[in-house]
Structure 1
Amino acid sequence: MYCKGNNVKNLSSYQAVFFDVGGVLLKPNPSVGHIYAQYARPFGYEGNAEDLDIEFRRQWDAMGGIESLGAQSGQSAERQFWRQLVKNVFDPHGGLNNFDRYFATVFDAFKKKECWTIFEDVIQSNILPDLKSAGVTLGVISNWDSRLPATLQNMGLAQYFDFILPSAVIGSAKPDGKIFQEALRLAKVDSDDACHIGDEIRTDVEGARNAGIDSILIDRKDRFSEGYDRKVKSFMDLTV
């Protein structure tokens, strides 16, 4: 596979290719705020989903995202992070009745297929089965929590990956080098023989580069217009 018009060598020439998940393979369906609102109606929420989307983005940035867990790992740490974030989202809107019950419900909901959508170009490009058929080792490197393997399984994507590395399980979040080194170890390849595909400059591109791994930036909305020559707008730009 190659990237048309960009400085990217054939993907099938790598021994291993790693993928980020959020913004690369999957997106919330239809949005985090809509999912929060849907599950919050029985708990007294009468506002709109758009307000929750705005507050979620604000709180995510304020708390530093799942990356803020750093070297912490395990379900206790990740649940504490998410509980505080979700509470912060609803508190400006009057809170919820029986918040702990709501949180347990919505936390589990994000493993379900109906809460996610696979980007169309992931399916249309056939990138995962094509690379798998070519004998390339495929892995996931994602700033995510322990729900990720179940989420990918429910979405029908787990079958393509030889391993899945959620940051909150490893105790290392991109751009930290530990999670990239663990991927290389599991793939049993040197850094020169691997490529990482993600949608963020700092965590994906710079994180991979600092680990000696080539990278490709997926930038569907032209968020990063200049300064990186290994960029594609769609997996359809990667052809067999």
Structure 2
Amino acid sequence: MASKSSALLVRGLCRSLKRLGTSSSNKIGGDPQPSFIVSGLTEMLGPARAATTLPVKSPLSLTRTAGQQSRRVSGSAQQAVGVQTDAALLDDDDYSFDYDYQRRAANGGLSHKALLVDAAGTLLIPSQPAAKVYREIGLKYGVTYSEEEILARYRWAYSQPWSQSRLRYVNDGRPFWQYIVEQATGCSDRRYFEELYLYYTTAEAWHVGDKEAGKVFAALRKAGVKLAVVSNFDTRLRPLMKDLNCDHWFDTLAVSAEVEAEKPNPTIFLHACEALGVKPEETVHVGDDRRNDIWGARDAGCDAWLWGSDVYSFRQVAERIGVEVEEEEPES
């Protein structure tokens, strides 16, 4: 953990010095120690070590040559933490790391105080493809469409505006799902719909996609990170998560049918933040839908990582936040 903090410290210093170097002066010398650097060092290393890391007459320097805009960092900033600075760190014009460095320094090394997680498609995965289930259960009710046809019709129906109410998922969501089933399969038999609907209420229909999820969430909570599920779902989600024995992983659930707001509406994200007692800017949301999860969370002021692109596992999510998760011990 110390080596990670040290590397983080140097990267932050390099970014900060680079930013200062863009002023009219071509050389910064003497005592380049703005308050945000000193406060960040004090938070991360403690007052005593921070004082020795950047003495008042620090030999730090940053130079720029006229043609190449090359930069050099020397002296105690590199030596005090015992790692080498990478020239690439100084040539990256993206200053986002400066903000991340300062935020981690203020949060005890964590990038965020809270994590919001999408349910279906991120935390929970269907045990079988929906089109296969629709067809297999539907055979006894006269459904003749192939899985490919059902999938295409399902996607079309799901993408259409829902005219019966402002929200698709109201209470148990039955009217909306009955419409989807009828459009996808061409079958309006009420018995067929009820069998399908009840199937997706059970743990048989779903599983937690990441086998390490419980362990990772426990490590996050131990580190002080607050957790919530933010999902476009009907009222079946709470009992479903209880049946899957994963409801206790989270401090709160923000379910669209209960909040009366659906992603990408920022309201549902703000509701979760308020329930956790955190600010949106202290929060990151992880989900698999670019529009609903990424754009929606960012509109609310949260950070957002796309599941399956920015992150691929909850262990990776934890590591990006700054929480280490113990490796599984190999079986003997």
Runs of 5+ unmatched residues, structure 1: 223-230
- Matches of 2:180 and 2:212 in 1, distance apart? 35
Percent pairwise identity: 26
- Relative to 1, partners in 2 of residues 1:207 and 1:106: Cα closer, same or farther, differing over 3 Å? same
Question: Do residues 17 (structure 1) and 115 (structure 2) align?
Answer: yes
- Which amino acid is 2:226 matched to? T
The SS at the match of 1:123 is coil
Greater CA radius of gyration, 1 or 2?
2
Which of 311, 317, 324 does residue 232 from structure 1 map onto? Answer: 311
2:212 maps to amino acid? Q
Out of 186, 200, 216, the position equivalent to 1:110 is 200
- SS for the counterpart of 1:232 is coil
1:81 maps onto 2:170 in alignment: no
Question: Which residue identity is paired with 2:159?
Answer: D
RMSD value, Cα: 2.9
Residues 21-36 of structure 1 correspond to what in structure 2 (within 5 A)? 21-36=119-134
The CA distance in 1 between the partners of 2:198 and 2:221, in whole Å, is 30
TM-score normalised over the length of structure 2: 0.58
Deviation digits for residues 109-150 of structure 1 (CA, Å, limit 9, x no counterpart) = 10211111322xx22363222212323221111111111112
The alignment of Structure 1 onto Structure 2 pairs a total of residues equal to: 217
Structure with the bigger percentage of strand: 1
d(CA) in 1 for partners of 2:229, 2:280: 15
TM normalised by structure 1 equals 0.78
Q: Which residue of structure 2 aligns with residue 228 of structure 1? A: none
Structure 1 residue ranges (4+ consecutive) displaced by more than 4 angstroms after TM superposition: 6-13
2:168–2:176 contact (8 Å) kept in structure 1? no
Give how far 1:87 is off.
0.8
1:124 counterpart residue number = 212
Give unmatched runs, 5+ long, in structure 2: 5-95, 325-332
Q: Deviations over 1:79-133 (max 9, x none)?
A: 1111111111111xxx36xx112212211210211111322xx223632222123
Q: Deviations over 1:42-71 (max 9, x none)?
A: 32335543432232122212346xxx9545
Supply the distance in 1 between the matched residues of 2:139 and 2:168 (Cα, whole angstroms): 33
The answer to whether the Cα contact below 8 Å between 1:29 and 1:35 also exists between their aligned partners in 2 is no
Structure with more relative contact order (C-alpha pairs < 8 Å, separation 6 or more): 1
Q: Distance in 1 between matches of 2:292 and 2:143?
A: 35
Q: CA deviation at 1:192?
A: 2.2
Structure 2 letter corresponding to 1:106: L
